[in-house]
Structure 1
């Protein structure tokens, strides 16, 4: 395989960082445009609807990770036929999942409103918004497969182009439909729907290399029982791993509520620092997915080690930079996020945890990228299970320390993830060899 250099890592990582920076734009524009209507209910409806969709779509994040690892390996093995077949399998899974979502959405949305009730007016508008947006589900879920394929073959500039296109179309149509045509909340939903389907069209064009030579319609290969079983096993393990970790973070929020409203609000503010961390460091983990996967496919154990070391060096550098930034600029960021004096004071009291989080967590995030690239999904699943169990024990043991104990337990979970994955890292190199 080609030499793994620092320049190559940055070429993969930086477009992802820029792409991630555009992610919050859609929600901000939707909210801002609806806000011009001069009513509170539509703003709340868009917010509730977007959160419900994000929670449901989040479940399908496994499709991006599983596709990325499998495609990287076939790409490293110089097997374009399998590279195209994997994309087709992932697209079929995504489209099928989207159709099931469309068919079952009344039940899903009713359950969501039961869990998070709002006023009758907000729920009515949110239901209207969701009834339009839901038709974009097949495109949105299939886009996970497209993104995973592009990352695996190191075409992260295309990922940036794709994200900019979806955001740009959404913003332009938001302004036209809502402010120009006066369509209100239906206009916001329609803009997002068109952006999603046009994004899938552009994504498929960007992946056109996967469809060259007709391998995408080699149905005997696409539906090969062994390969399909392997893909389902990888995706299933990653999905379980993600559900476990999401459950731990959700538990952190619920447990924060037991510390009082001010502490809950302060933790919510500080969790935005962790979101910024994810956006900022994802690029290096994605680079590890691509380069480690290609090294595994090429049967190069030295390549696996080189990819793991070089991407992790940049990940650690990024984590240190973010930690220092949060420590120095954290008070100013907190003041931008809230004007309530009590919440500001409380958030400052726990700022050190948010500043330490990138440094403490970087090893676990980089190992995630390495193991995704190597498709060692079983180890990822087991690591998550052990880490969440340790987290629960830590919460109980540290409960007497209040909110400091909660944050410490969260850090313990990330350290446990790093230790458990690091302990079995040798399997990745041995498998490649």
Structure 2
């Protein structure tokens, strides 16, 4: 396995209600000296309960007099609340991040963890998504990727062979036409209300369009937004909308959890989903039956492309640079990535965890198709982009679907943003 891998008026009330940690500009924000506060969007989930308890128990063995308080924030507001709290010195001690631009853009506010996690580097995978200029700012909890799932029962209903999904884009379009004729389902489930859908599309299909050299250059930061193959990815996004492949109202459909629900309800034949802990094989299997959840490679678009599973470090915990207790906070991060805690997260949530010693192979046919691809997987294309570029790409993706911007204009804007960041 590769080891790469808003409210200014409301904020005061929000912080008062949710609690804040001891991170500040040289002084505590008011939390007791024996308390560490963690912000995330996972700890309130039932499927995460055993994971959180295992991590807290591991930490308590070494620090029995320290209280750990988890504050679950709404994901759709998380980075806005966190960013404002960090700027005002009222943020938590420990916080959860997605890998990629969201954490890299805030690296200056985070504690470098290299000295604390040296013993964990070989056991855990996915570090690159939480690294900026060779410095680690978070420890990975999961590996997150973007498989293309398909509904095997819908394939049978449409007269298609569920054992033989399309391997080229042309054949995929043919299958979508058959599905439209023979069933009431859309070909693709897409939620782009927040602009997240384009991220999944780019990473899920990009390896079938870009050449291996172009792919490597993109990840390395040498992105050519004028490349015909990069242009082709965004053309496919627009063409899929124009051809009616997506569910109705994709721009008003939330990715979490409305588009996922369309696939789970059998109202869409395919979805670019996730591979770990939400919107993944376990969730889909609970609704459709494990036997009906298929996983297919991205259908080939460019002859010399090489489709692969896109994945990176998924989520990871970081420490605020201004915390009054850096050693304790960093040790809590280690507990949150302990083998015992991560084993519980996999067992209950179906998370493909970062710990390479945890066996994640026993979850049914869809997971069995995903796990072997991890070893040869490549970093997800969207994770390499800054949060500013991702935000712009989300807005432009909505305009591309509505026809209010051209592909060329969108690419020019993205190139300017990428260069500036």
TM category (shorter chain) comes to: under 0.3
Structure with the higher helix share, 1 or 2: 1
Indicate the structure whose relative CO is greater, using CA pairs within 8 Å and at least 6 residues apart.
Answer: 2
Q: TM-score, structure 2 length as denominator?
A: 0.21
Structure with the higher strand share, 1 or 2: 2
Q: TM-score, structure 1 length as denominator?
A: 0.21
